[in-house]
Amino acid sequence: MTTQEKITFNVEEIRKQFPALHREVYGKPLIYFDNGATSQKPQIVIDTINRYYTSENANIHRGVHFLSQQATDAYEEARRIVQRFIHAQHEHEVIFTKGTTDGINLVASCFGELLTAGDEVIISGMEHHSNIVPWQMLCERKKLKLKVIPVLDNGELDLEAFEQLLSEATKLVAVTHISNTLGTINPVKWIIDKAHTAGAKVLIDGAQSIQHMPINVQELDCDFYVFSSHKVFGPTGTGVLYGKEAILNEMPPYQGGGDMIAKVTFEKTTYNELPFKFEAGTPHIIGGIATGTALHYLSSLDQEAIHGHETDLLNFTQERLLETEGVRIIGTAREKTSVVSFIVDGIHPFDIGTLLDKQGIAVRTGHHCTQPLMDRFGIPGTVRTSFAFYNTKAEVEVFLKALNRSIGMLR
Amino acid sequence: MTIEEKQQEIIDDFAIYDDWMDKYEYIIELGKDLPLIEESKKTDDRLIEGCQSRVWVASEFNNGKMHFTADSDAIITKGIIALLIRVLDGETPENIAKTDLHFIPAIGLQEHLSPTRANGLLSMVKRLKIAALEVLK
């Protein structure tokens, strides 16, 4: 919505759009600091879902009737909204998936088919399990070698080591844009350029970046970019795989079924063109449509103001946390966004999370699906606060007070 | 005291707390007082690996009664373990195997025993019951 006039950012006005933020838990006002896991939904997204099932429900891409055409148009318009949001060159480079995990598995399966024994895949030591396990499975299946970029003490990637790992054998580099556990923003543009020089393709896990920064896949020049709708104010069960047209065309289909075919006979089936080749079966229609609504909503806000607000929240939280005795922040990269992971000396993260919960504060504790990263830091897990633009400093103040009370009880 | 009486006693103990934080304050105190499992018994076969916290359980069968010691790296988990042991320790395997631990939901702690909570407690309860069933074999 580049032509649309931006609405001035006012966090109280924004919060009014998110009904879940106004509920109570255990008799306390909810403070939702688990946005890295999933975001709350604005009313406009809820309304879209409600309206679709109330009066617009139909299957897409095959009906001759009015409702089917309307649903198809809405679904395909959502694809174009995604295209504009991530600045893809073509709308058929936008594949709707079940989510980030599904997108990565699709690439591992289909791009993986193009790889042969001895080829290498590079991931990083801060990946979510969903950007580790599909590659391990692929490497086992195709006799490939998996290499891992080490993580430095401050939570940044060891880029020198990455350059050493790159070779002619490297066929794919799959790294996260932003660490879900540490908040580190990785220099993906630099990584992509280095990988391309070595002749490798690059997949960027955008699960934690799509909601926090402008994404331009053409400028990044990434070959694949994946994200989940539910982390960017849309519904669960839907996500996006962006892939460059040429590579997607080269890849075999993922699953067989309706919608992905051009012609089926028992002798030979020919496949549909992009993006349908990768979208077998009736998709999560309203998931796609509501993803469009969510991204449209986000685009209507002042991105710079959002970025400023989120940076303020991050810095404020980190500074104040460090004033608390015994707190150690895990992940002190120079470039960070919206995630503060910490541990408290002598106290298990689970205990802190449980007591914060009883005070109305939702955080995540544990290994955050990054067990190798926890092992790297030699800790069982962390307490993680992860913010969205609707969080406030006042909430952080309440959180800090609740944290101090919890620590007092547990010491 | 029967298992049922012990469960009722815990329910009565918790009835005085109407604030969640007070309830947890009490659980934490119980956790701090839990007689620990001997370090030498914290072996892998006694470890229940939860997603979040870890639990060790050792069981013994003496003079017709089961005895348990346990530990966890999380204090709230330990507190709940202390409650479970208070109810089940010193009981016969028959009684342990057939007991419905209804005090847990009654005092509002059922979330800790949900399969998705992954703090090892549900597995611990299973482990205690299996230990009793083993003796009965």
d(CA A34, CA A363): 5
Task: Compute the average pLDDT of residues B26-46.
Answer: 86
pLDDT higher than threshold 50 for residue A222: yes
Same domain assignment for residues A320 and A287: no
d(CA B3, CA B14): 17
Same domain assignment for residues A70 and A162: yes
Is residue B24 within 8 angstroms of chain A, CB to CB?
yes
Listed residue (A134, A123, A124) closest to A101, CA to CA = A134
> Strand pairing of A327-330 and A269-271?
unpaired
Is residue A1 situated within a structural domain? no
Token code pair at residue B59: 């069981």
Is residue B27 within 8 angstroms of chain A, CB to CB?
no
| pLDDT score at A114 | 98
**CATH number for the domain harbouring residue A69:** 3.40.640.10
Distance from CA of B76 to the nearest CA of A (A): 6
- Among partner residues A350, A366, A409, which is closest to B28 by beta-carbon distance? A409
Band of the pLDDT at A5, cuts 50, 70, 90? low
Token code pair at residue A95: 């594949």
Band of the pLDDT at B33, cuts 50, 70, 90? confident
AA letter at A309: H
Which residues on A lie below 8 Å from B118 (Cβ)? 366
Same domain assignment for residues A21 and A34: yes
- B74 and A367 within 8 Å at the Cβ level: the answer is no
pLDDT higher than threshold 60 for residue A4: no
Contact B35, B26 (CB under 8 A): no
Strand partners, B71: B56
Token code pair at residue A26: 């255990």
Same domain assignment for residues A289 and A403: no
Q: Does the domain made of B3-136 have the CATH classification 3.30.420.40?
A: no
| pLDDT score at A7 | 60
Domain's final residue, options A299, A327, A357: A299
d(CA A119, CA A116): 6
Domain's final residue, options A299, A316, A349: A299
Is residue A4 situated within a structural domain? no
Domain's final residue, options A299, A325, A357: A299
Token code pair at residue A348: 């298990």
d(CA A36, CA A391): 13
| pLDDT score at B117 | 59
Token code pair at residue A86: 């991530």
On average, the pLDDT of chain B sits at 88
Same domain assignment for residues A149 and A260: yes
Q: How many residue contacts between A and B have a Cβ separation below 8 Å? A: 44
- Tell me the ipTM for this assembly: 0.89
- B21 and A358 within 8 Å at the Cβ level: the answer is yes
| pLDDT score at B46 | 84
User: 3-state class of A255 per DSSP?
Assistant: coil
| pLDDT score at B111 | 81
Is residue A101 situated within a structural domain? yes
d(CA B58, CA A135): 39
- A355 and B51 within 8 Å at the Cβ level: the answer is no
Q: Provide the residue range defining the domain that includes A106.
A: 47-299
- A358 and B76 within 8 Å at the Cβ level: the answer is no
Token code pair at residue A31: 């403070």
Same domain assignment for residues A262 and A319: no
Is residue A2 situated within a structural domain? no
Is residue A3 situated within a structural domain? no
pLDDT tens, A193-221?
999 999 999 999 999 999 999 999 999 99
On average, the pLDDT of chain A sits at 96
Same domain assignment for residues A306 and A295: no
Same domain assignment for residues A225 and A361: no
Catalytic residue among B51, B130, B133, B136: B51
- A350 and B53 within 8 Å at the Cβ level: the answer is yes
| pLDDT score at A23 | 97
Kindly list the domain boundaries of chain B, sorted by start residue. 3-136
Chain A, nearest residue to B73 by Cα: A348
Is residue A215 situated within a structural domain? yes
Residues of A marked as catalytic? 369
Band of the pLDDT at A1, cuts 50, 70, 90? very low
pLDDT tens, B53-88?
888 888 999 999 999 998 888 999 899 999 999 999
Helices (H) and strands (E) in chain B, counts: 6, 3
pLDDT tens, A57-94?
999 987 889 999 999 999 999 999 999 999 999 999 99
Contact A373, A181 (CB under 8 A): yes
Same domain assignment for residues A288 and A270: yes
Number of domains in chain A: 2
d(CA A26, CA A28): 5
Is residue A5 situated within a structural domain? no
**CATH number for the domain harbouring residue A386:** 3.90.1150.10
